[in-house]
Amino acid sequence: MRLPPAITGHTEEVLREILRFTGPADGTLSRYFREHPRLGSRERGVIAEAIYGLLRNKSVYTNFAESGSGSPMRRLTLLGLADAVGVESLGGLTEDEASWLERVMQIDRSHLPVAMKANLPAWLWDKLSERFGEDTALTLAESLNKPAPLDLRVNSMRANRDDVAAALAEAPIIAEPTAYAGTCLRVKKKPSIQNLPLFKDGTIEVQDEGSQLLAQLLGARRGEMVADFCAGAGGKTLALGAIMRNTGRLYAFDISEKRLAKLKPRLARSGLSNVHPVVIAHEKDAKIKRLAGKLDRVLVDAPCSGLGTLRRNPDVKWRQTAEGVAELNVKQASILASASRMVKPGGRLVYATCSILDEENEAIVQAFMAEHPDFTLVPASKVLAEQKIELEMGDYLKLYPHLHQTDGFFAAVLERNK
């Protein structure tokens, strides 16, 4: 079935706005769809798929769009739509456009220059190829350029993983246990789950397996005092609350009231009563100082470049810059230092990011330890063994999509000396 020509116009219009990179692509798309309510779910799906395909493969498509006729933005749009649904499904093409598209779609992309195949900005490709070597960097880049699967976290306060998988199968939704996190199910295809009773009653939450592992790495126990220092919308907070079996006291700190507001309905569904959301002005807020030396565990999921989440947010690689990362490094160091003050002797601090860059990860941890000799690095391999998670790691937790089928994550476990 051919798509109506209007779909090409809509895709081009929203693409033009997204490629200005003034904000997240998903937000721009959501707003556009709200402003055009007559677009059906199939049309919205096609437009989104074409846009995300373009963002993933922007280097290649920009190169291809240098040939052909008409405006470059229309050529880019046609390439994205052709990749999403096939040339034969596009309506309203001129004869020239149809033959150009047929030619371009037959190009063997394996012969393109390696930096173009990576579909990363030059600064990021240079960093990754220098660190990993060209072959591994390309494998990593290609894995980051594939769409992420849908992972669910089973709320262990409500059900176990096998029972949830069986209940989903009746929907019928096929979900299989993942390799590492004991609460994770990976769903085949990407069904809508918002209307499922299991979602509405808080039995399942959407959360990448890597993110679930970060929560487990903290090793929070029943009855402890724990903080999720950069809680955001609270995915890890909810996972921690369930790990603590709804006992003790779990603070969810964030500087954004808007982000914490998104936690409230999720918290209500989860059945947890041990979570205390707290808005703070900054990392040195007096509310933090009052807890100095009192907490058993603190998780710092620091604001970062987000480059480990490119499978979900491909626009991030084009919006982020080397200068932006350097600014984040200052913030990351400050947040880690402030959060560490809350940890009591013998307590643990986990510093984590969804980044794949050394300067946001090891470099921040090593600088922190040089200035805070009262903290000792606990090897991630030891903590994973404590948590009975079968995952080969060294001193740090480093997750990559091409190796672990998760988003890119980093974490370091630090213990305050007694």
Whether the ω angle into residue 373 lies within 30 degrees of 0, i.e. cis, is no
- Whether residue 145 contacts residue 314, with contact meaning beta carbons closer than 8 Å, is answered with yes
How many whole angstroms separate alpha carbon 326 and alpha carbon 305?
Answer: 10
How many whole angstroms separate alpha carbon 215 and alpha carbon 192?
Answer: 25
Encoded tokens for 295: 């907490």
Virtual CA dihedral for 239, 320, 107, 48, nearest 10 degrees?
50
CA 14 to chain centre: 23
How many whole angstroms separate alpha carbon 179 and alpha carbon 361?
Answer: 24
- Closest by alpha carbon to 79, among 58, 61, 55? 61
Q: Which of 184, 230, 304, 354 is catalytic?
A: 354
Q: Is 354 a catalytic residue?
A: yes
Encoded tokens for 220: 């929070």
Distances (CA, A) of 307 to 84, 242, 331: 24, 28, 17
User: Which SS3 state, helix, strand or coil, does residue 414 take?
Assistant: strand
Output the CA torsion sign for 364, 370, 371, 376.
positive
How many whole angstroms separate alpha carbon 283 and alpha carbon 126?
Answer: 33
Which residue matches tokens 């914490």? 260
Q: What is the DSSP string of 194-259?
A: TTSHHHHTTSEEE--HHHHHHHHHT---TT-EEEETT-TT-HHHHHHHHHTTT-SEEEEEES-HHH
Query: Among all residues, which ones are annotated catalytic?
Result: 354
